[in-house]
Structure 1
Amino acid sequence: KFLSDNCSTRPRDIIEMAAGESLQYPAMGDTIVTYRDILAHYCRNYAWERFGIDLVLGWDLDTALDQRATMFIPMLLMDAVAGATINVDGETVPLVKATTVPIDKSTEGNVRPPTPWYLSPMTVALLVLALTLIVTYRDCRRHEVSRWFDALLFATGGLAGCLLFFLVFFSTHEATSPNINTAWLHPLLLLLAILPWFKKTRKANRWLHALNALVLALLMLAWPWQPQVGNLAFFPLMTALLTRSVTNVFLGSQTTRGPTTTP
């Protein structure tokens, strides 16, 4: 439980047991903060780490926190303890008398540089969407579906969906379930990478694409009202999946590029 039971919360618990009920932390203020807000702050220079957090951690990460819960981050624990007070013989005194740094060692040179914009998840997602639109335009002009492209796109999404489903249904890690991202990344996408290659499954492929397109469209429309905060890079990727599913619905019954396998 890396949020509620980690190397920062355990010292907090020990301090609270030693200080007793008179321990008072400084006021937090009226700002509503969540686990995701705090993690996003500390990952603000590293877009892929933030993308991964937003992908695999569900809406429990978007719960509003009280002062005590924010101390799962060591720096926030240090700030809270530094401003805390206790009651000693009827007098309110600071919990911490002084703050010292045992080892004053600069971290310059040891900190990884920020993710450049051209390597960020958003840039990659926009490139995927742009390539999807180009392939779709060519498909519409030729009245045929590019199965190799769909196989790559939906296989990638399906494998990511397998990871998410494992974390949601089998993992004991904290905050992985429920996760709204399983509505657009799931193992069934693997079928969309396989079914177009067989004549006998072409109709099933179109129906599955129709269902996938409907789910994606509803999810994107309802996103502002669901409880989980998403990464902006998700939306170009969802749009790419939606575009290819719609393309398969309308062009799937026509000639497809490449040989068709008959099982």
Structure 2
Amino acid sequence: MFQKKLVTLLFSISFFIGFTQSVLTDKATISVLTCGPGSELYTTFGHSAFRIHDPKTGFDKVYNYGTFDFNAPNFYLNFAKGKLTYQLSTTRFQYFLAEYRYENRWVKEQVLNLNENEVVQVFNFLENNAKPENKNYQYDFFFDNCSTKIEEVLKKALPNTITFNNNHITSHKTHRDLIADYTKNQKWGKFGIDLALGSVIDKEATKDEYKFLPDYIFKAFENATINTDTIKLPLIKNELTIIDEKPITKAPFSFSFTPLFIFSIISFMILFITYKNYKLKRRTKILDFLILFVTGIVGVVVLLLWFATSHTATYKNLNFLWAFAPNLIIAFYITKTNLKNWITTYYKVLTILLVITIIVWIFKIQVFNIAILPLIISLIIRYLYVIFIGKKIQNS
């Protein structure tokens, strides 16, 4: 019985080794593919993937950690809760390339300086990771994505073999700064990011943390070395541009469609109505209702992202200081003709919170989107009007 099991085991091992050797020859190479940004917000940060190519056998496969299944159970709910499962998928290189050629996005290839044994080790790791039972992972935009997986895979498949040197990074940026570098033409996308993500992304990123962006993984590999028995060699053996294209960019929004312009108009309307109220000795109740109701809704969303999801980047979101969730309830009290004394006290609290917002901004505890600056100024003036004048005058 023992001999039978031993023979079976040896046969299985030899079959596996033979299978690997039949797939890859000594001409096989492993590359890192870095893809340029696209015109849509979800493509604006670029992409990274592995390519394994064996010109002798025609084997040419891309291993892509940036895919997910729309048909997965509770996909949209899990997405909102920050529990989105990404997966390692594989496809033929020609199909992968066709997508980026269609989107007019550049693709660069860095061929790794690996020996035959190292190529097989990485190949086996990726093939095992691509199995249905292993392919899923919990996505995190900053700490576990298609870009960070590139370095992680090589460190696991080839432990103590590659040295990454980050001395090419000389800047001192926060995660929010790094995002801003890629969203200069995505004004509304940038506004949404600044509204949803908290103060945790306003700390200076470590050099390793830059690698959530494919461009920085590309630069890290340019600067990395591989350890041999005698010397250290550059990790990159060859670097080439496969597609040299730029996306067809959409016509940029005119200033009239940017968040700053829209919020400036809203702020001007608040100030204008407040001025007219002052001149006519009135208080426009519907304005006060809308201000509290809308900021309350925004505040509830901010708190839900903070406390009810697993998104690591939505923690400690100080946007709640100006978008105060209890406003959603208080809005229905502000419509009454005779304001209670506690309403005045509540407005004093709101005013203090707005001042704290500005202080937080000045000291960069959290950097807010510039579009809310005119709104904060107009809200301070409106709240002070309600505190000192609004209650004493006739309500309209």
TM-score under structure 1 length normalisation: 0.88
Amino acid at match of 1:205: I
Amino acid at match of 1:148: I
1:136 aligns with 2:280: no
Once the two structures are superposed, residues 142-178 of structure 1 have per-residue CA deviations (whole angstroms, 9 ceiling, x without a partner) of 1111111222222111111110010111111121111
Equivalent in 299, 302, 308 of residue 164 of structure 1: 302
Deviation at 1:48, TM superposition (A): 1.2
1:10 aligns with 2:158: no
Deviation at 1:240, TM superposition (A): 2.0
Equivalent in 252, 275, 295 of residue 114 of structure 1: 252
Aligned equivalents of 2:203 and 2:237: distance in 1? 33
Deviation at 1:90, TM superposition (A): 2.1
- Asked whether the 8 Å contact 2:164–2:220 carries over to 1, the reply is no
Cα 1:69–1:151 shift into 2, 3 Å? same
What residue ranges of structure 2 are gaps of 5+ in the alignment? 1-139
Equivalent in 344, 361, 375 of residue 206 of structure 1: 344
Deviation at 1:29, TM superposition (A): 4.0
| Percentage of matched positions with identical amino acids | 25
Name the residue aligned to 2:372: 234
What residue ranges of structure 1 are gaps of 5+ in the alignment? 258-263
As a proportion of its length, which structure holds more helix? 1
With a CA cutoff of 8 Å and minimum separation of 6, indicate the structure with the bigger relative contact order. 1
Deviation at 1:222, TM superposition (A): 4.8
Q: After the TM superposition, which of the residue ranges 145-154 and 201-210 deviates more from structure 2?
A: 201-210
- Asked whether the 8 Å contact 1:145–1:247 carries over to 2, the reply is no
- Asked whether the 8 Å contact 1:62–1:229 carries over to 2, the reply is yes
Cα 1:5–1:191 shift into 2, 3 Å? same
Cα 1:140–1:199 shift into 2, 3 Å? closer
Runs of 4+ residues deviating >6 angstroms: none
Once the two structures are superposed, residues 122-142 of structure 1 have per-residue CA deviations (whole angstroms, 9 ceiling, x without a partner) of 111211111111001001011
Name the residue aligned to 1:55: 195
- Asked whether the 8 Å contact 2:173–2:204 carries over to 1, the reply is yes
> Which SS does the other structure have where 1:97 is aligned?
strand
Name the residue aligned to 1:261: none
Aligned equivalents of 2:290 and 2:197: distance in 1? 25
Amino acid at match of 1:45: N
Q: After the TM superposition, which of the residue ranges 121-130 and 18-27 deviates more from structure 2?
A: 18-27
Aligned equivalents of 2:250 and 2:209: distance in 1? 28
Aligned pairs, number: 255
Amino acid at match of 2:365: P
Aligned equivalents of 2:392 and 2:368: distance in 1? 35
As a proportion of its length, which structure holds more strand? 2
Amino acid at match of 1:28: H
TM-score under structure 2 length normalisation: 0.60
1:216 aligns with 2:342: no
1:83 aligns with 2:223: yes
